[in-house]
């Protein structure tokens, strides 16, 4: 569904991404894991269109994605380190603002449903400036889900979430996957990667050095051993 071919990115005089070729299938959860400085955030930004790759191609359903393509922006919902939320607005107002921007149909019903799903319905009319980090993250997740993207890209989505919210997010992610959404997660959190991913890819020094099927067949300890071996090998 989403295919990256030989994607490279130079930042300053540093080659941060080296020839990344990777595909995300329909209804698959793919996790990209790697040590600090491996290039994960840069990879994420290039794939969602926040940064322009220096070279390489991105294909959506076999079609080449052009620079600043509206299609990729519509079809990919991404959750990065910035929440893109307005502090002086309430959860309801934030979602309505984005809903109008994305031309979401049946917006009232959808916003209420999503606020219930992420556990913020009782707080729907409070300005979010007093919200905790976890509450902000819950709302950021609702914002990403609002236009029903068929590809979700999540950069460290579990950051700041308490155990209840982690379970809630994981259930949302699995339900989306089961209904055909393709999901790419960047994470340091092995437990969550193990709980969620169908496949994991190790990014090291800007290169994908290994990919492996994870779901069910592989234990958490085995996954960690594989990762450590890949990261240590030169």
173's CB contacts (< 8 A; 6+ apart) are 29, 152, 154, 157, 183, 185, 196
Q: In what order do the strands lie in the sheet with 76-79?
A: 76-79, 151-155, 182-186, 29-33, 199-204, 207-213
Q: Which is nearer to ligand ATP, 174 or 207 (CB)?
A: 207
* Sign of CA pseudo-dihedral 216, 153, 28, 233: negative
CB of 131 to ligand ATP, least distance (A): 24
Q: 75 or 204: whose CB is closer to ligand ATP?
A: 204
Q: Which is nearer to ligand ATP, 41 or 211 (CB)?
A: 41
> What's the gap between Cα 77 and its chain centre?
8
β-bridge partners, 151? 76, 182
CB of 214 to ligand ATP, least distance (A): 20
CB of 206 to ligand ATP, least distance (A): 7
Residues 164-183 that bind ligand ATP (CB under 6 A): none
C-alpha span between 3 and 58 (Å, rounded): 6
Token pair in block for residue 212: 């492996």
Q: In the complex with ligand ATP, which residue's Cβ is closer, 12 or 62? A: 12
In the complex, least distance from residue 165 CB atom to ligand ATP, rounded to whole angstroms: 21
Parallel, antiparallel, or unpaired: how do β-strands 182-186 and 151-155 relate? Answer: parallel
Residues 65-124 that bind ligand ATP (CB under 6 A): none
**How many residues of this chain interact with ligand ATP, rule: CB under 6 A?**
12
- Residue 38 Cβ vs ligand ATP, minimum distance, rounded to whole Å: 4
The Cα–Cα gap between 65 and 45 comes to 15
Do 185 and 196 form a contact (C-beta atoms < 8 A)? yes
Q: Given the complex with ligand ATP, which of 34 and 99 has the nearer CB atom?
A: 34
CB of 152 to ligand ATP, least distance (A): 18
Q: Which residues pair with 152 in a beta bridge?
A: 77, 183
Which CB atom, from 36 or from 163, has the smaller least distance to ligand ATP?
36
Of residues 8-67, those binding ligand ATP (CB under 6 A): 11-12, 14, 16, 34, 36-42
Interface with ligand ATP (CB under 6 A): 11-12, 14, 16, 34, 36-42
């Amino acid at each position: 569904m989403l295919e990256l071919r030989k994607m490279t990115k130079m930042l300053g005089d540093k080659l941060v991404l080296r020839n990344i070729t990777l595909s995300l299938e329909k209804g698959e959860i793919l996790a990209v894991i790697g040590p600090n400085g491996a290039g994960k955030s840069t990879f994420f930004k290039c794939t969602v269109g926040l940064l322009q790759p220096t070279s390489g191609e991105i294909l959506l359903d076999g079609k080449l994605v052009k620079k600043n393509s509206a299609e990729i922006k519509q079809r990919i919902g991404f959750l990065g380190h910035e929440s893109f939320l307005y502090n002086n607005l309430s959860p309801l107002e934030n979602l309505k603002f984005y809903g109008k921007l994305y031309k979401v149909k049946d917006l009232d019903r959808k916003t209420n449903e999503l606020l219930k799903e992420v556990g913020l319905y009782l707080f729907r009319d409070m300005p979010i400036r007093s919200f905790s980090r976890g509450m902000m993250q819950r709302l950021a997740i609702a914002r990403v889900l609002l236009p029903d993207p068929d590809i979700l890209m999540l950069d460290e989505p579990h950051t700041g979430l308490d155990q209840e919210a982690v379970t809630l997010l994981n259930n949302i992610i699995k339900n989306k996957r089961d209904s055909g959404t393709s999901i790419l997660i960047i994470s340091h959190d092995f437990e969550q990667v193990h709980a969620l991913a169908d496949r994991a890819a190790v990014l090291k020094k800007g290169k994908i050095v290994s990919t492996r099927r994870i779901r069910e067949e592989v234990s958490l300890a085995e996954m960690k051993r594989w990762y450590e071996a890949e990261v240590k090998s030169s």
